[in-house]
Amino acid sequence: MAQQQMIEAIGRLERAVSRLEQASLPTASDNPELEQRYAALKSATQEAVAEIDRLLAKEGGVHG
C-alpha cells in the first residue's frame, strides 16, 4: 500500500515538473528573482527525488 502511494506521488511530481518546464516563464532579464526562485525549487526537487531513490534502493536491499 505504501509503495503504491509513493509511486503515485512520484508520478504527480514528475507531471508537475514537466508542466513547469513547458511553461513560458519570464527570462532572467525579465525577473531575476523569479529565475532564482525557480532554480532553487528545481534544485530542492532534484534533491528530494534523489533521497526517494536512496530510500527505495535501501528498502530494496533489505527485502531483495
pTM of the model: 0.53
Q: Once rounded to an integer, what is the mean pLDDT over residues 7-28?
A: 79
Domain ranges of the chain: 2-63
Q: Pull the grid cell for residue 61.
A: 536491499
pLDDT bucket at 11, cuts 50 / 70 / 90: confident
CA neighbor of 16 nearest in space, from 44, 36, 35: 44
Q: How big is the chain by its Cα radius of gyration, in Å? A: 16
Q: Pull the grid cell for residue 30.
A: 525579465
Q: What is the pLDDT of residues 36-56, one digit of tens each?
A: 888 898 899 899 889 988 888
